[in-house]
Amino acid sequence: MSAASPQNPSDASAASAASADRAALPDTALDPALASRLRVVLVGTQHPGNIGSAARAIKTMGFGRLVLVAPERFPHADAAALAAGAGDVLDAAVIFPTLAEAVADCRLVMGCTARSRRVALEELAPWQAATRGRETAAAGGEVAVVFGRERTGLDNDELQLCHAAVHIPANPGYSSLNLAAAVQVLAYELRVGWSTTDAATGRAAPTPVAGVRDASQDGNEPPATHAQLEGFFSQLADTLDAIDFHKGRTPDSAMRKLRRIFLRAELDDREVRILRGVLADAQRMARLAGERDGGR
């Protein structure tokens, strides 16, 4: 066996400096109050092993709420095997038949998906999603990060239930990510973004952006939940039909744009009630007009 070649002193110094830098980096401390407001939602998961791997991914980053929407096979031995110590996350997982029910009480719903022009949603990088989620959680809102099926992802109807799309930048020549790998990327970014210190600098984590509503402040109504907003959007669509707003054109494009406008407004509970009252009056007037015209 030949003797090892002597190490270059400059290489040794560089390696020592790099090691010292790594040692100096502080551990991130995830804020448990924020972590409790995050749920990771898996929709229509086909392979039970991916559910177990996802549970492991979120537990390693300090999160524990896993929600499953119509999984094809769960519970399953493969899920338990690949959880590798995250069995408590699997045991606590909640199952819903639809995505709408799974996120009904959420203030912010972000769907992890490849870029698509089919559904116009605000696109966020993973670190931007972490920042947006922290603002919502710090204001007392529930946050959901949603992942679709292994082969086809989230369908258009499911994406419409999301407030923003999260896109993980990857090699454009081979951008396919395993479901659990995508969960791990988002869980890491959320841990860094929701921690009490910045992983790279040790500085205190940023405070929520001014203007984000905090339901704990006197005089503020609680933010509208996902279910309240979806109820409003459903009534809005019915009202537009009742007043013949679309004039024979397809309503999908107009509703997508209107959804984005109202989502940007960050409506609270009281504002949604006021808007629904306006819509109810518009529907009543449209009905009366129809009855009057029909009687002529």
Domain that holds residue 247: 226-294
- pLDDT band at residue 31 under the 50/70/90 scheme: confident
How far is residue 53 from each of residues 6, 78, 82, 84, 113, measured CA to CA in Å? 43, 10, 5, 8, 19
Per-residue pLDDT tens over the stretch 187-227? 999 999 998 755 444 444 444 433 444 444 445 688 888 88
Instruction: Indicate the pTM of the whole model.
Output: 0.73
Q: End-to-end CA distance of the chain, in Å?
A: 105
pLDDT given for residue 28 in this prediction: 63
pLDDT given for residue 124 in this prediction: 94
Domain contains 186:
yes
Check which CATH number belongs to the domain holding 260 and give it. Answer: 1.10.8.590
In degrees and rounded to multiples of 5, residue 108 shows phi and psi of -135, 125
HEC sequence for 159-224: HHCCCEEECCCCCCCCCCCCHHHHHHHHHHHHHHHCECECCCCCCECCCCCCCCCCCCCCCCCCEC
Domain contains 258:
yes
Q: What is the mean pLDDT of the chain?
A: 83
Tokens of 152: 């086809």
Domain contains 220:
no
Domain contains 128:
yes
Q: Which of the listed residues 152, 173, 193 is the one where a domain comes to its end?
A: 193
159 shares a domain with 281:
no
182 shares a domain with 38:
yes
Instruction: Give the Cα separation of 85 and 39 in Å (integer).
Output: 19
Per-residue pLDDT tens over the stretch 137-152? 999 999 999 999 999 9
- pLDDT band at residue 118 under the 50/70/90 scheme: low
Q: Number of structural domains, the chain?
A: 2
- pLDDT band at residue 119 under the 50/70/90 scheme: low
Q: Which of the listed residues 193, 216, 240 is the one where a domain comes to its end?
A: 193
pLDDT given for residue 218 in this prediction: 40
**8 Å CB contact between 108 and 81:** no
The least confident of 103-112, 169-178, 213-222 is: 213-222
251 shares a domain with 144:
no
Check which CATH number belongs to the domain holding 49 and give it. Answer: 3.40.1280.10
Paired with 2 in beta bridges are none
**8 Å CB contact between 153 and 114:** yes
Paired with 30 in beta bridges are 195
Instruction: Give the Cα separation of 209 and 30 in Å (integer).
Output: 19
Instruction: Give the Cα separation of 169 and 64 in Å (integer).
Output: 25
**Span 126-130, average pLDDT:** 96
Domain contains 51:
yes
How far is residue 28 from each of residues 31, 188, 190, measured CA to CA in Å? 9, 11, 11
184 shares a domain with 46:
yes
